[in-house]
Amino acid sequence: MKRFTIPALLVFCFCTFFTLNATAKTQLTYSNFFPPTHIQSQLAEAWIKEVESRTNSEITINYFPAGTLTKAPQTYDGVVQGIADIGMTVLAYSRGRFPIAAAIDLPMGYTSGVQATSIANGVLEKFDPEEFKDTELMFLHAHGPGLLHTRDKEVRTLDDFKGLKIRGTGTSGKVVAALGGSPVGKAMGETYQMLQKGVVDGSLHPLETNKGWKVGEVVSYMTQNFSTAYTTTFAVFMNKDKWNSLTPEQQKIIREVNAEFALKHGQAWDESDEEGMAFFLEKGGKVIPQSDEQSKIWADQAASVIDEYVQSASEKNIDGQAIVDYIKANL
């Protein structure tokens, strides 16, 4: 029979303990298209640190900002396929794929990111969209009111808007078309150069974009079209197999962190809007308010986007009107 000396036994026990503890750890990857300097990227990093801390580093997460692991339009599929374990992206970049969540982005006249984020997660809870079933959805968040910004032309009326090339994706692109413009569907990361080079005349975006993406440097006017203000829904999600591999306690911890950070993201959008407005004005931007009369005219014109959504949803056996009514009731 083989005998162990005391030192050898201690080494054996230490190695066994180390191996068991090493195998208990889970290492994940997180892909995000926001650049590392953006507050929404910084919050993603804070979420990671919170998950790591509360799980006592049983879970560790490697972070890939600025689309370095998956580009924004491919992030959802990338997480489904396991290229990334966790991802954050814009749902509108996968146009038509998320028919229930698409209602959140409609031009409802949003007033803040906290409001839009609350509504987004309310829709998620109330309607439990089947469209997300191939991932484990962490939470949604949404920015404050998306407003019209233009490079060279003041826009006060729909006649001023007519024919302008305006960057907009998903629902915001439909809003551009409904108001008489020509939508150019490009990701936010391309917007600065397009405006700088005159490829587009303007952009529909929230105030935060003026500083967060430096777009305030290449636009001159902001039309306060609050009556047609849309939002953009962002989703944080995890690969289903990775989620199922976690212990029930780890899943519980992550859900608790998710609930806290959904609100943090919404609050950050509003704080960023304040900074974006200040940046826009600092760069010499001019704010163009809308009269009640013009606000109603614009809202009536943009209502076709909501009607089109309801019709399109019904063709997919989705009660789009119920979703729209829920959102309007919670504005």
Read off the pLDDT of residues 91-106 as tens digits, 9 standing for 90 and up. Answer: 988 878 999 999 999 9
Where do the domains of the chain lie? 26-143+231-274, 146-230+285-329
Question: What's the start-to-end Cα distance of the chain, in Å?
Answer: 77
- Which tokens go with 62? 């490697």
Residue 30 φ then ψ, to 5°: -130, 120
pTM comes to 0.87
Alpha carbon of residue 266 to chain centroid: 10
Neighbours of 220 (CB within 10 A): 17
Number of H helices, E strands in the chain: 12, 11
The 10s digit of each residue's pLDDT in 109-144 is 999 999 999 999 999 999 999 999 999 999 999 999
The 10s digit of each residue's pLDDT in 52-72 is 999 999 999 999 999 999 999
Average pLDDT, the chain: 93
**Is the pLDDT confidence value at 248 over 80?**
yes
Q: Say yes or no: domain 146-230+285-329 is CATH 3.40.190.170.
A: yes
Classify domain 26-143+231-274 by CATH architecture: 3-Layer(aba) Sandwich (3.40)
Closest CA to 120 of 142, 88, 92, 93: 142
**Fold agreement (26-143+231-274, 146-230+285-329):** yes
- Between CA 258 and CA 238 the distance in angstroms is 12
